[in-house]
Amino acid sequence: MAFQNNLVLMKLKKKMILKNSKIEGIVKSTSKNYGFLETNIHKKIYISSIHMKNLMHGDRIKGYVNFEKKREMFYPEILIEPYLTKFIGFLQKKKKKYFIKSIYPYVRNIIFCNSIDLNLHPCHEGDWVVAKLVEHRFKKNNRFYAIILKFIIKKTHPLIPWYVILERYNLQKKSPNMYSQKILEIKTYQKNRQDLTNLDFITIDNKYTKDIDDAIFIEEKNSQNLILTVAISDPTEYIFQHTPLDKIANQRSFTHYLPGFNIPMLPRNLSEDLCSLKPFLKRPALVCRVLINIDGSISFKNISFFLAWIKSKSKLSYENVSNWLEKKGTWNPENKKIMTQILLLKKVYDIRRIWRNKFAFIFPDKPEFRFHFSDTWKILNISLEFRRIAHYMIEEVMITVNLCAAEFLSKKLGFGLYNVHLGFDEYNAINVCKFLQEYKIYYNPTEIMTLKGFCQMRRDLKKISNTYIQYRLYKFQTFSEISLTPKPHYILGFPVYATWTSPIRKYSDIINHRLLKSIIKGEKNILKPDTSIITQISSQKRKKRLANRELEAWLYVNFFNSYNYKKKIFQANIVNIFKNGIQAQLLKNGAFVIIPSCYIYHLQKKLFFFPERGMIYLKNKIYYRVSDNVKVYIVKIVKETKKIIASII
């Protein structure tokens, strides 16, 4: 019995069991030469620098564990799946041999490249390429070897960050360019539409906007009602379903707005010319006309959709209209008719805003950070920009007619492409109520899972103005999605919501245009869109979001590398708490910085991080939490990982 309980024997048995059993996991590299194997249960086992030379970060491998010097050591035996197959990198030259340095920050290996490829793909040291790993060092020849598949951009080109990131996410770099202008111009004027060219439609956009997709006309019926007429550009007049151009628009799904420029979903000669509602030019439009009651409510019984010709009477800018309404600057409407339209638009905004604040919910607005570039694409500055009254006026009108479209499609067809947000699921509704109880705020989980209860809760919490509570609620909410059937949009506070006001920029709006037009024309057996369209649009939306995030991180690193940030103090807002650090956003320019625990408190072992609560404790007291404002300074810029490391003062 004593022999069985012998500690030495037990340790020996444990070692033998581990040594004889195979373990599978993912390789995780470090800033040093060694690494770790992360298993499915998130256990980390040490991999020595000798073995890491033959492995890459992200490789899935299998092997065994041994004990050496009182430490678990992993010994790889089988490469199950390499992390890299097709990848992006730039060329390096050493001792007359070419190598490819991967863009992926944790892949530190330099991959050998055959010089013959450079004859097939003319490129030089520093140029960016797409390559394919054809030999892994762990498998054979004791080397990593790749072939070049595609040249991306030269090392001297100023748009390297844009092209590399777009290539990584397989997003287009240029606008499509295919259609016959002559045929389309003849065809479009043969259509039978209502003639509204005599009405005083106006457009309000940014000063340099070319793809103008909405025009507005308002008339005051009496002291109790306003008639809102919104004309939306009609690209479906030119783009027929299943044609090559339609397939391109489907594949792109969105106009991609990047710092410095945009990449249109449609050919520019469509989006910025034939389909653009330019002033004084006759244009085909899909029109919504609706009665707005004086209390701001929509008279859903008085909604009509129809096809028309319109002619905008003035292209106005957000800046000028805002200045005029706020009595700033020297700009004035060019005539009384334009002035009347602006004032009526302001009236619609005022009464609709009151109604939404009372019966729905208006989400807090966030400022935008705009990059300013020189002619050679050097970042001159990053400015903080807030939306102004004219932006809100146009937004309110677009929300109103999107509501009308959702209601119209729901009643007439029962399907379409709807923007959906379902608030909290059952599990998180319970957690939200428990969380709010800590602040003596009491709600019932069943209640806040209803649209009415959710909106009431958000309106109540908005009055409290506790930014920490607002930050925490974001973590509990479900994600927005697209649905073919009508469902509520809890964040906006509407029982149903569908967009159709940006068909030049969004393929989902093109689909809703086609459905609306099918109803208008009295077509029978209108087909429901295929579910595959949701997958396509969601995928493109996600890739766009990730690409923008990575591009901005790269641009911020470039900006600070050329900016004298040393000895400068920045105000920052804590946006996330990790297991051993903080993510914060600089209020001046929007850059995200990482603050490791060693730069939070000098005795970092006394800090306790609770990411799930968004808090850091020191000596049993809250030390920091998400939403806190802190003063920081930048410690270093890590160009390879595109990270800015900062310290709290």
DSSP 18-82: HHHS-EEEEEEE-SSS-EEEE-TT--EEEE-HHHHTT--TT-EEEEEEEEETTEEEEEEEEEEE-
Residue 193 contacts residue 263 (beta carbons within 8 Å):
no
Q: Is residue 518 part of a domain?
A: no
* Same domain flag for 263 and 396: yes
Q: What does the mean pLDDT of the chain come to? A: 91
Stretch 24-37: mean pLDDT: 92
CA dihedral 113, 118, 119, 121 (to 10 degrees): 120
Secondary structure (3-state) at 157: coil
Residue 382's CB is within 10 A of a number of other CB atoms, namely 20
Tens-place pLDDT, residues 196-229: 999 999 999 999 999 999 999 999 988 789 999 9
Out of 59, 117, 200, 213, pick the active-site residue: 213
Q: Is residue 254 part of a domain?
A: yes
* Same domain flag for 202 and 347: yes
Confidence (pLDDT) at 215: 98
Residue 529 contacts residue 484 (beta carbons within 8 Å):
yes
* Same domain flag for 203 and 253: yes
Residue 157 has pLDDT above 80, yes or no: yes
pLDDT level of residue 390 (50, 70, 90 thresholds): very high
Dihedral sign of CA atoms 333, 336, 339, 341 in order: negative
628 counts as catalytic: no
Cβ neighbourhood burial of 48 (10 Å; 0-12, 13-18, 19+):
middle
Number of compact structural domains in the chain: 5
Residue 397 contacts residue 390 (beta carbons within 8 Å):
no
pLDDT level of residue 9 (50, 70, 90 thresholds): low
Q: Is residue 590 part of a domain?
A: yes
195 counts as catalytic: no
Confidence (pLDDT) at 186: 41
Residue 413's CB is within 10 A of a number of other CB atoms, namely 15
Query: Where is the domain boundary, 122, 157, 192?
Result: 157
Of 406 and 365, the structure prediction assigns the larger pLDDT to 406
* Same domain flag for 68 and 131: no
200 counts as catalytic: no
Percentage, residues of the chain above pLDDT 90:
81
Of 470 and 188, the structure prediction assigns the larger pLDDT to 470
Q: Is residue 585 part of a domain?
A: yes
Residue 137 contacts residue 144 (beta carbons within 8 Å):
yes
Q: How far apart are the first and last CA of the chain?
A: 61
* Same domain flag for 366 and 245: yes
pTM, two decimal places: 0.90
Residue 505 has pLDDT above 70, yes or no: yes
Out of 211, 234, 509, 628, pick the active-site residue: 211
Residue 82 has pLDDT above 90, yes or no: yes
CATH code for the domain in which residue 53 is found: 2.40.50.140
Residue 305 contacts residue 299 (beta carbons within 8 Å):
no
* Same domain flag for 57 and 102: no
Out of 117, 200, 214, 628, pick the active-site residue: 214
pLDDT level of residue 180 (50, 70, 90 thresholds): very low
- C-alpha–C-alpha distance, residues 358 and 377, integer Å: 46
pLDDT level of residue 70 (50, 70, 90 thresholds): confident
CATH code for the domain in which residue 96 is found: 2.40.50.640
Q: 90-104, 205-219, 288-302, 502-516: lowest mean pLDDT where?
A: 90-104
* Same domain flag for 77 and 97: no
Q: What is the CA radius of gyration of the chain?
A: 29
* Same domain flag for 263 and 383: yes
Out of 59, 127, 200, 205, pick the active-site residue: 205
Confidence (pLDDT) at 369: 95
213 counts as catalytic: yes
Confidence (pLDDT) at 1: 45
Confidence (pLDDT) at 179: 57
pLDDT level of residue 181 (50, 70, 90 thresholds): very low
Residue ranges of the alpha helices (H) in 449-531? 451-464, 467-476, 507-520
pLDDT level of residue 7 (50, 70, 90 thresholds): low
| Full residue range of the structural domain in which residue 613 is found | 564-648
Residue 108 has pLDDT above 80, yes or no: no
Stretch 183-197: mean pLDDT: 68
3-state DSSP helix/strand/coil percent for the chain, to nearest 5? 30, 30, 35
505 counts as catalytic: yes
Q: Is residue 485 part of a domain?
A: no
Residue 596's CB is within 10 A of a number of other CB atoms, namely 15
Confidence (pLDDT) at 224: 81
- Of 340, 357, 327, 305, the C-alpha closest to 501 is 305
Query: Where is the domain boundary, 413, 446, 461?
Result: 413
Stretch 430-439: mean pLDDT: 95
Q: Is residue 1 part of a domain?
A: no
pLDDT level of residue 488 (50, 70, 90 thresholds): very high
Q: Is residue 171 part of a domain?
A: no
Residue 451 has pLDDT above 60, yes or no: yes
Tens-place pLDDT, residues 573-624: 999 999 999 999 999 999 999 999 999 999 988 999 999 999 999 988 999 9
* Same domain flag for 314 and 438: no
Confidence (pLDDT) at 31: 80
Q: Is residue 500 part of a domain?
A: no
- C-alpha–C-alpha distance, residues 559 and 576, integer Å: 23
Stretch 460-482: mean pLDDT: 92
Percentage, residues of the chain above pLDDT 70:
94
Confidence (pLDDT) at 437: 95
- Of 212, 228, 227, 200, the C-alpha closest to 318 is 212
Out of 238, 318, 565, 624, pick the active-site residue: 318
Confidence (pLDDT) at 556: 97
Residue 514 has pLDDT above 70, yes or no: yes
Secondary structure (3-state) at 554: helix
Q: Beta strand pairing status for 145-153 and 110-113?
A: parallel
Stretch 179-197: mean pLDDT: 64
59 counts as catalytic: no
Residue 296 contacts residue 351 (beta carbons within 8 Å):
yes
* Same domain flag for 351 and 318: yes
Query: Where is the domain boundary, 362, 386, 413?
Result: 413
Confidence (pLDDT) at 405: 98
Out of 289, 505, 514, 625, pick the active-site residue: 505
Specify the DSSP element, H or E, that contains 400.
helix 389-412
Tens-place pLDDT, residues 412-433: 999 999 999 999 999 999 999 9
Residue 256 Cα to chain centre, angstroms: 10
* Same domain flag for 238 and 278: yes
* Same domain flag for 131 and 95: yes
